[in-house]
Amino acid sequence: MKVSWIFIGLVLVQCASVSNSKIGAVDPKEKPKPTSIVKPTNIVLVIGDGMGLAQVSAYMYNVEGKIAFERCKFIGLHKSHAANNLITDSAAGASAFSIGEKTNNAYVGVDVNGKSHETILEEASRKGLATGVVVSSTIVHATPAAFIAHNVSRDAYEEIALDIVDSGCDLLIGGGQKYFTRRSDSLDLIQKFKSKNYFVTDYFNSDYSSLVIPSSQKLLFFTADGDPLPYSQGRDYMIKASLDALQFLDKRNDKAFFLMVEGSQIDWGGHANDVNYVISEMTEFNLMLNKILDWAEKDGNTLVIITGDHETGGLSINPGSVRGKLTTQFTTTGHSGVMIPVYAFGPGAVNFTGIYENTELYLMMKKILFK
Ligand SMILES: [Zn+2]
């Protein structure tokens, strides 16, 4: 009996010393670590509209060497379906990324009940982070609209344009000037942007390649009156625009930034069942992606996430294909329901592995951007 009490006493002393070492006692040999994070991580979300694994593969087998995507060591898959349809459109697909809600097809920046939700870009802007959107479609198109507007109809371009005035977005580059300047309500949205300290110009006034962005203002640059040209027909602003955006947003303040870049027309090639259109758009996307990854690598504090909102065309690469000469087939002129790869590069990239809903991207980005 006496021995047992001594044993229990010893155990208690042992426990006390273990818990002491955990909560209080400082080992003199262990110096306190300096706080390493001085600035939250910037996020660049690069969306290939309609870009599934087949689109990336078709491009990859048409070129020699490694493609930009292979620089990403952390890869996941997202489930792209909408709230009301297994096959999502770009509106619901992008809204999952921007507001973290599965919503109905055609809805941008609103939930299934049509209720507006603050988007990740709008929240970033409200919190003083720099924000930007660079697209190869119009800036009122479904994907950008999901980040800077709220509507139950992706086709309500004039209403979407009006929302963009108040989005707070620091940099907007893309087509669709007519929805801002020749409106059925006769409103002059350009004056509204100018009164909010935007430098507003367009392809007609200056070629994008010679544009110098005034650092003291926000930027709205229209690259086309309607849809920008396909890459194969001379569209050439995306690479410079995405690099300009990175530099501009990085210098804007000492907080992090959020940039959404979209290769919009990969989707249009899929709808047209035109594999050359798809591959040509992927060529530009890959060039741009390499530049973005170079910039992020040098910066060291920028997370780049590359994904599609859905796949378009049900593209397959068939037997008989050889590198440089593919035998391809489309199964639809619409979108398909396959899971979509997510490639991540930079600080926090490890979080993007696994299989998850597309809405998870919003949650993970938010955690990193607003930590
Ligand atoms: Zn589409």
Q: What does 210-253 look like in DSSP terms, one character per residue? A: G----TTSEEEEES-SSSPPPGGGT---HHHHHHHHHHHHHHH-
pLDDT band at 356 (very low <50, low <70, confident <90, very high): very high
- pTM of the predicted model, to two decimals? 0.89
Ligand 1 centroid from CA 136, angstroms: 14
Ligand 1 centroid from CA 225, angstroms: 21
The domain in which residue 76 lies consists of 45-369
Ligand 1 centroid from CA 108, angstroms: 14
Residue 128 in domain: yes
CATH assignment of the domain containing 218: 3.40.720.10
pLDDT band at 38 (very low <50, low <70, confident <90, very high): low
Higher pLDDT, 213 or 231: 231
Residue 14 in domain: no
Residue 17 in domain: no
Ligand 1 centroid from CA 50, angstroms: 6
Q: What is the mean pLDDT of the chain?
A: 91
Q: What does the pLDDT look like over 80-127, one tens digit per residue?
A: 999 999 999 999 999 999 999 999 999 999 999 999 999 999 999 999
Between the CA of residue 337 and those of 52, 113, 167, 313, what are the distances in Å?
A: 10, 23, 31, 10
Query: Which residues fall within 8 angstroms of residue 196, CB to CB, at 6 or more apart?
Result: 165, 218
Ligand 1 centroid from CA 177, angstroms: 21
Lowest mean pLDDT among 31-35, 59-63, 264-268: 31-35
* Count: domains in the chain: 1
Residue 92 in domain: yes
Task: Give the CB-side neighbour count of residue 363, counting CA atoms within 13 A.
Answer: 10
In the chain, the percentage of residues whose pLDDT exceeds 90 is 85
**What's the CA gap between 303 and 133, in Å, rounded?**
16
Residue 2 in domain: no
Between the CA of residue 136 and those of 35, 80, 222, 235, 300, what are the distances in Å?
A: 40, 22, 11, 8, 27
Ligand 1 centroid from CA 194, angstroms: 33
Residue 13 in domain: no
Q: Which sequence positions are flagged as catalytic?
A: 90
Q: What is the reported pLDDT for 28?
A: 47
Residue with tokens 């890959």: 286
Residue 12 in domain: no
Q: Is the pLDDT of residue 254 over 50?
A: yes
Residue 102 in domain: yes
Ligand 1 centroid from CA 335, angstroms: 6
Higher pLDDT, 337 or 18: 337
Lowest mean pLDDT among 36-45, 81-90, 168-177, 189-198: 36-45
